[in-house]
Structure 1
Amino acid sequence: MTLSPSTGSGETDPGGLSDDALLARYAEGDPSAARLLLDRLAPRVLRLAYRLLQDQAEAEDVTQEAMLRLWQIAPDWQPGGAKPSTWLHRVAANLATDRLRKRRGVALDSIPEPDDPSPGAAEGMIEADRRIALDTALGQLPDRQRVAVVLRHLEGLTNPEIGAAMGIGVEAVESLTARGKRRLAQLLAGRRDELGYER
């Protein structure tokens, strides 16, 4: 995945600066600012895209596209408004949602299972089953509920940050996450024993 923007020369050390400041430094041609911003933001965008798409290659494509869009708007960025990370979450969620809508006819069984990096075989199998069950259940939520639940409960964003990322109010975020959690509970009901959860 090639996410590095092309920049001018003139290396500096912009460590410790805010995302806004780094984006401004990138717009002025500082490649080290671009690398730091990429290191800070791309992993979070990739995680979000993967959670929504459940496909590593597509998640990487979405991350690359979101970062490219950030590089393109850098010269016009207005500090003090939305944070670059919030803006990227919004762009990535929209790009992922567009991809999901295009592949609506794809059966859940055809989506590959995520890799299991855990060392213990039994624990790894249980954790993989739990992850697959959650990802499958998330895939059955309406798009906006899925985005809100993933951003809140898997990415740890606050309701105001989610509202900014989705372009909706905090009350709408609360409603979407509450409905999404209720629906997930319904979809996963009766599977506690199967997934290795104690009562």
Structure 2
Amino acid sequence: MKTADERSDESLMTAVADGDRAAYALLVHRHGLKFRALAIRILGDAALADDVTQDAWTTVWHRADRFDPAKARFSTWFYRVVVNRVLDMRRIRRADPLPEGFDMEDDRPGAEAGLALSRRDEKVRAVLDTLPERQRMAVMLCYFEGLSNAAAAEMLGLHLKALESLLVRARRRLRDALCDDRDDLLLPHV
């Protein structure tokens, strides 16, 4: 028999559905930081991200019996839970623009590189903030989180063609808004 550390996330979810706190703790240990980082990148606020991820983990505990490993892997299912919570939080804070400290990537550049990227990041941040919510989430998931179009569509509860349409419209808006500053921003043609 496999130990808890060797079991798949899906088998751990079965155990969580039966009330196994150790299995739950192992899932949090395996995935907690990754999903917290996702929430921070989208929300731009560590405290809000902590609230969102804590709420998402509470959902795992209370709704583990609704997880169906035949339909999705745990990470895909949980990604959707986190994205839904992030969208809920963004709706609550709809009037708030993306925060000033919003980082476009996981690895933060050094001070010199950060200064060089500052102007570009400000412009991209401002343009991203003007996108409709679904376009912004599609861009975030596909381009900043590195998900495939199919995975992002699943996360957002969309058909693949609908997601691709969102991305086309978002890229067009980004291109149009950033076109005048292309040389200054060192952006490749979109």
1:142-189 residue CA offsets vs partner (Å, 9 max, x unmatched): 111111111111112222222221111111111112221222222222
Amino acid at match of 2:149: N
1:50 aligns with 2:40: yes
| Distance in 2 (alpha carbons) for counterparts of 1:184 and 1:134 | 8
Higher share in helix: 2
1:22 aligns with 2:19: no
How far apart are 1:198 and its partner, in Å? 8.3
In structure 2, stretches of 5+ residues that fail to align are none
Alignment of 1:42-121 (within 5 A): 42-106=32-96, 111-114=99-102, 117-119=108-110, 121=111
| Distance in 1 (alpha carbons) for counterparts of 2:188 and 2:173 | 21
Identity fraction in percent: 37
User: Which residue is equivalent to 2:174?
Assistant: 184
1:80-125 residue CA offsets vs partner (Å, 9 max, x unmatched): 11222222222222222222223233356xx332479433x22122
Amino acid at match of 1:171: K
User: Which residue is equivalent to 1:164?
Assistant: 154
User: Which residue is equivalent to 1:195?
Assistant: 185
In structure 1, stretches of 5+ residues that fail to align are 1-11
1:28-49 residue CA offsets vs partner (Å, 9 max, x unmatched): 3444432332233333322332
Task: Indicate conservation of the 8 Å contact 1:82/1:164, yes or no.
Answer: no
Q: How many residues in Structure 1 have an aligned counterpart in Structure 2?
A: 185
After TM superposition, the score normalised by the length of structure 1 is 0.77
How far apart are 1:196 and its partner, in Å? 5.0
| Distance in 1 (alpha carbons) for counterparts of 2:117 and 2:3 | 41
How far apart are 1:69 and its partner, in Å? 0.6
3-state secondary structure, aligned to 1:191:
helix
CA RMSD of aligned residues (A): 2.7
Amino acid at match of 2:50: E
Amino acid at match of 1:146: R
User: Which residue is equivalent to 1:4?
Assistant: none
